[in-house]
Amino acid sequence: MQPATTTRRFGTLPVFMTAISTILGAILFLRFGFAVGTLGFWGVLLLIFLGHSLTIPTAFALSEIATNKRVEGGGEYFIMSRSFGLNIGATIGFALFLSQAISVAFYIIAFTEAFEFAFNYFASNLNITLPRQVISIPVMIILGYIILKQGANMGVKMLYVVVGLLFLSLLLFFLGQTEYGALTGKAIPSGELRNMDDFFIVFAIVFPAFTGMTAGVGLSGDLKDPSRSIPRGTIVATIAGFFIYIAVVYKLAISASSEDLLADQLIMGKIAIFGSVIIPLGLAASTMSSAIGSIMVAPRTLQALALDDSFPLKKINRWLSQGRKSDNEPANATLITVIIALLFVALGNVNAVAGIISMFFLVTYGSLCLISFLNHFGSSPSYRPSFRSRWFLSLTGFLIAVWVMFRISAPYALLSIVVMVILYLYISKYHREREGLESLFANALFQINRNLQVYLQRSESKKKLKEWRPSAICISKDSFIRARAFQLLNWISYRYGFGTYLHRIEGYYSRATSQRAAEELAKLIELYDTTNNHVYVDSLISPSYTSALAQAIQLPGIAGMENNMIIFEYDKENPEDLDSIIENTGLIRAGNFDICILASSRKEMNFKNGIHVWIDFEDPENASLLILLSFIIAGHPTWKKSNIKVFMTCSPGKYDETRIRLTELVRSGRLPITTKNIEIFTKDQKLTLRDLINEKSAAAALTMIGFNPKQLKHDGESMLNGYDGTGTILFVNSHNQKEIV
């Protein structure tokens, strides 16, 4: 969200200046000499390549995303929040803002190193040890006052001056000569690759030098044409910084010995023309320009967070989002930024949080690369950036960001992740209505699913699969009356199977029925929106039950495999729909589907009483499906404290044979059924099977019984009736024998 009164007044140059001034910051002047002295020229060159293997893909990814749609105020935060969702965007945004605000303090403290001669003078001549705060606090207050009063316009004008001084100091550094350089003849000394065991220690020290290339993006809300200025300014600054780093490292390597490089953090002053003056001046310019860039960007990130109501209190959001009436400068957000920076300046040392700052920047860069990669992979028609990176660059940038986080400091990496998870959970708690990653990952998941289905179809792997798993369809017009059918489908789909629930709208397709179907589908999705719901829900408009079934059994399975099971459902106490179910079993059998008929009882299901499975010894096809299906259903958390009991009937004289076969089946199939939960009954003319089921399974939560479709067609409803003593029953028929492996 962007304030209506925003004045867009900047072009590409401020983006470039803000980025390059942060890239060529304090680390370049204070730590590159130490890096070359420790690792040698080739070691630091490798370090620079590693750093830019992250920053260049990030700059490209950022440029790509910025040219796909208009980027409003907030820069990196705006991009991430509109890609990952507001809650995740706010989580990263808060971390990004704190990193930017604390970076201001980091640069101001580094600024004081330019006055080392003054501190040395007081210490040696007057025996007075002055704290760095005597300079850093007044400078922070003055800088904060200027930005608060004059805003970004003055900040950009100051940038022009300090960046000019910065480039002048670098020019004089490159033109400078030393006795050591005259002896080496501008050739890189031998052995200029050393101490590689300390590579990542040095990398962690100089890494802040690589965190500046996205600084200019924070001005997005003030740019006339962000889609043009952000890519140009960011990429040019990143590439320019890359070559300047290499040139500086080369100059250091040929101009001073490793001992001198390690002994003097301002060794550049010994190399440059007028070095004793120009290098401290360049250091002051570089640190001040970085501080100006950060102090202009951080408030805009904070203002964008407030405009999206990221804080829990409306008053805080309203106050932080307000811009100055004259130029819409985020004055209130700037005040908070200055206070935070001043606090850390007063502490005098930000080393304790420098690691966390690096982690948050790495999270930001990794997220930008991930967004770019997912957009490439998802191939959304709406993703049409005028500048295109490459998917492998974005993926490389993301992976390197994660890898570098843990190589720099595994504890800091884990701590930063924990902090961000806690922050995300807190934000999600008071913004429950906001969506998360769905929008960005939806296209990627769609592509994965599509490619998998095409692959499965080409390879005909469905025909080769020996392992059976259910892919079931259930059609019901009573979705808002009874939930048993959906529950059964959800139990089947939770872990091992796949389920599609179709809510039937009776009638012909028209504008009215289409609208009704959409409305009732939305209600169903909301009704069944639980963490344990694994069923795909849809609606189907059809004039009759038969035509609905004919349509449904021709639908492709949602898992890339053909549907193999149809679930019918009716009210056990009022079986008015049973006739139409029986009439359509022949249609389903023609397609080689397994058939389940669920007789939903109004009797409450006590899940602790478990599942009772009734098997006929002479019906092996149904037996295998009954056992497998009971195991699959019991895998749902609802049945966690229940067990499966198997009851089997056999002909007289075959009791022992039946027990051996059933026990071996359970054992070889590794089914969670104990021998004490297996009972075998010999068929007795005095006591019918129906009477036995009513007696033994009266308390069962679910009773499962096999049936024969031909007999059902012949006997009609009477075959399924008469189980008044039991609760909900699932009648099961398998069109072939399933292999229990």
| Helix ranges (DSSP H) in 308-437 | 314-321, 331-347, 351-378, 391-408, 410-430
Q: What is the mean pLDDT of residues 589-600?
A: 89
Burial of 673 by CB count in 10 Å (0-12 exposed, 13-18 middle, 19+ buried)?
buried
**What span, in angstroms and rounded, lies between the C-alpha atoms of 555 and 648?**
36
Cα 67 → chain centroid: 22
Name the nearest CA neighbour of 267 among 287, 244, 284, 249.
Answer: 249
Name the nearest CA neighbour of 251 among 183, 193, 178, 191.
Answer: 178
**DSSP run (H or E) holding 306:** helix 275-307
CA distance from start to end of the chain? 57
**What span, in angstroms and rounded, lies between the C-alpha atoms of 704 and 631?**
12
Cα 34 → chain centroid: 38
pLDDT-derived band at 25 (thresholds 50, 70, 90) equals: confident
Name the nearest CA neighbour of 252 among 196, 194, 183, 173.
Answer: 173
Please tell me the least confidently modeled range out of 151-160, 373-382, 408-417, 678-687. Answer: 151-160
What's the confidence (pLDDT) of residue 450? 66
In tens, the pLDDT along 465-507 reads 456 788 899 998 888 888 888 999 999 888 778 888 999 998 8
Between the alpha carbon of residue 200 and those of residues 42, 407, 466, 522, the distances in Å are: 14, 7, 51, 53
With H, G, I as helix, E, B as strand and everything else as coil, classify residue 616.
strand
What is the CA angle 727-732-737, rounded to 5?
Answer: 150
Tell me the average pLDDT of the chain. Answer: 81
Do 709 and 594 contact (CB within 8 A), yes or no? no
Strand order in the sheet with 471-476: 536-542, 498-506, 471-476, 565-571, 594-600, 728-733, 702-706, 611-616, 644-650, 678-682
pLDDT-derived band at 73 (thresholds 50, 70, 90) equals: low
- The letter for the amino acid at 356 is I
Between the alpha carbon of residue 310 and those of residues 114, 204, 313, 316, the distances in Å are: 39, 32, 9, 10
Name the nearest CA neighbour of 373 among 393, 388, 387, 394.
Answer: 394
Q: Which residues contact 209 (CB under 8 A, 6 or more apart)?
A: 23, 25, 27, 28, 31, 32, 51, 245
Q: What is the mean pLDDT of residues 686-712?
A: 88
Please tell me the least confidently modeled range out of 556-565, 604-613, 687-696. Answer: 556-565
Burial of 630 by CB count in 10 Å (0-12 exposed, 13-18 middle, 19+ buried)?
buried
pLDDT-derived band at 687 (thresholds 50, 70, 90) equals: confident
The bridge status of strand 728-733 relative to strand 594-600 is: antiparallel
Neighbouring-strand partners of residue 541: 505
Neighbouring-strand partners of residue 706: 732
Neighbouring-strand partners of residue 537: 501
Neighbouring-strand partners of residue 734: none
Name the nearest CA neighbour of 271 among 167, 180, 165.
Answer: 180
In tens, the pLDDT along 342-366 reads 888 887 765 656 666 778 788 888 8
**What span, in angstroms and rounded, lies between the C-alpha atoms of 234 and 59?**
6
What's the confidence (pLDDT) of residue 4? 42
Question: Which residue has better confidence, 542 or 324?
Answer: 542
**Buried b vs exposed e over 334-347: b needs ≥16 C-beta within 10 Å?**
bebbbebbbebbee
Burial of 286 by CB count in 10 Å (0-12 exposed, 13-18 middle, 19+ buried)?
buried
Is residue 453's pLDDT more than 60?
yes
Is residue 5's pLDDT more than 50?
no
Burial of 400 by CB count in 10 Å (0-12 exposed, 13-18 middle, 19+ buried)?
buried
Question: How many residues make up the chain in this entry?
Answer: 741
Between the alpha carbon of residue 395 and those of residues 69, 76, 207, 365, the distances in Å are: 21, 18, 20, 12
Do 75 and 219 contact (CB within 8 A), yes or no? yes
Max distance between CA atoms of the chain, in angstroms, equals 118
What's the confidence (pLDDT) of residue 685? 60
**What span, in angstroms and rounded, lies between the C-alpha atoms of 427 and 313?**
12
Do 610 and 641 contact (CB within 8 A), yes or no? no
**What span, in angstroms and rounded, lies between the C-alpha atoms of 440 and 510?**
33
Token pair in block for residue 29: 């002047």
Is residue 539's pLDDT more than 60?
yes
Neighbouring-strand partners of residue 565: 472, 594
Is residue 688's pLDDT more than 70?
yes
Backbone angles phi, psi at 504, to 5 degrees: -90, 130
Q: Which domains are seen in the chain, by residue range?
A: 20-430 (1.20.1740.10), 465-733 (3.40.50.12370)
Backbone angles phi, psi at 282, to 5 degrees: -65, -40
**What span, in angstroms and rounded, lies between the C-alpha atoms of 443 and 713?**
46
pLDDT-derived band at 243 (thresholds 50, 70, 90) equals: very high
Query: What is the CB neighbour count within 10 angstroms for residue 558?
Result: 18
In tens, the pLDDT along 389-409 reads 888 888 999 999 999 888 888
Do 213 and 16 contact (CB within 8 A), yes or no? no
Neighbouring-strand partners of residue 539: 503
With H, G, I as helix, E, B as strand and everything else as coil, classify residue 94.
helix
Residue recorded with tokens 């304790």: 352
Rg (CA), the chain: 36
Number of helices and strands in the chain (H, E): 29, 10
**What span, in angstroms and rounded, lies between the C-alpha atoms of 475 and 486?**
10
Question: Which residue has better confidence, 408 or 246?
Answer: 246
Name the nearest CA neighbour of 484 among 598, 609, 637, 581.
Answer: 598
